[in-house]
Structure 1
């Protein structure tokens, strides 16, 4: 009996070994890759710095906001292929906004156009508004329109001012919907308004500290 069992076990082992010896070698084929939008690089003229230099405290009048001269900087986006794009402006000094301070220089008195200028010794320095030069906005060298949306792209309207809430984009003239471009150029006006002198700690230096992050979004 034991010899019969041993022979059976040996037969099973031999059969398995023979099957293993006959198994064909295998190799795996993989299909990989990634679909990516065109790469875009945003830049500002002057490194994105708008410098007002030294502002004498004596130039501020009691009870009044002080409007500084308008300055301009060019915003450009270069992509490696045409793409529909939009931009958003995030106010990094939102907690320092002075309500209503840019109403006289903004395209719209709405507070969404009011960007903060930072805080010194617990006092808010002022604000600034960003507006566009419509005639100087170009896509691939041709004039394009500035547009914005308040409903995630379902509808678009003409834009003159830039705010810290909505998405801004660029359309072929008269088309009113985003157009794909490879090279975008936008001229932005910066208008600063300083707080009333009695609201500022003028016994020390009061630096202007506006900061906004501009993000390019693919549409």
Structure 2
């Protein structure tokens, strides 16, 4: 659509240029794009559900957050061919996280934030070799030094990828297969700020996007 709109604009400018007593004008059109190699498929074990089970309210802290978990899921990324990619998290719960930059767990019936969650990757292998985490917070212009993920958070405001060499800042390497453990931790907000008169379900929901570089 952008190309069509631009070309239409150029045609109109060209017609005006040949009107009587008009001076000739010209402009350049630059066409850009990117042909990517193979597509990638992402899969999580247990249907992508991190289940923390039943949590007794009397086991929760009243004046500080209570840490639950971790719950581990296996994550695999399988590509048709070697591809440079990174991952970014999207919080589908809106503004429900009790702590900034974490993922939300929803709200109680009284509109109180239930808590927050962290999502990270550890034990990563890429094409049967060790994977070292590297992150970018400027759309891939620069990358952090690659380190062993222990775990490394999947950011909401950046991207995380994996290199096959430790200590480099060149960003993720092109890989065909990646496997790792997705670690999920939940943090329940202090109960003195929550209304718990019945069951309060955790309503965390996040999407992990694979971004081709």
| TM-score relative to the length of structure 2 | 0.75
Whole-Å Cα distance in 2 between the matches of residues 138 and 199 of structure 1?
Answer: 42
SS of equivalent residue, structure 2 residue 140: coil
Q: Which runs of 5+ in 1 are unaligned?
A: 1-33, 100-110
- Name which of structure 1's ranges 75-84 and 64-73 shifts more when overlaid on structure 2: 64-73
Q: Once superposed, which parts of structure 1, at least 4 consecutive aligned residues long, lie more than 3 Å away? A: 34-37
Q: Indicate the structure with greater helix content.
A: 1
Aligned length, in residue pairs = 172
Q: Which runs of 5+ in 2 are unaligned?
A: 1-33
Whole-Å Cα distance in 1 between the matches of residues 208 and 73 of structure 2?
Answer: 14
- TM alignment of 1:93-104, pairs within 5 A: 93-99=93-99
Whole-Å Cα distance in 2 between the matches of residues 97 and 152 of structure 1?
Answer: 24
Whole-Å Cα distance in 2 between the matches of residues 169 and 62 of structure 1?
Answer: 38
SS of equivalent residue, structure 2 residue 131: strand
Specify which of 132, 154, 161 is matched with residue 169 of structure 1: 161
Larger CA Rg, structure 1 vs 2: 1
Q: Please say if 1:147 is aligned against 2:151.
A: no
Whole-Å Cα distance in 2 between the matches of residues 131 and 216 of structure 1?
Answer: 15
Deviation digits for residues 48-95 of structure 1, max 9, x if unmatched? 110011101121232232111212112111111111111110111231
Q: Please say if 1:123 is aligned against 2:142.
A: no
Specify which of 181, 188, 192 is matched with residue 194 of structure 1: 188
| TM-score relative to the length of structure 1 | 0.73
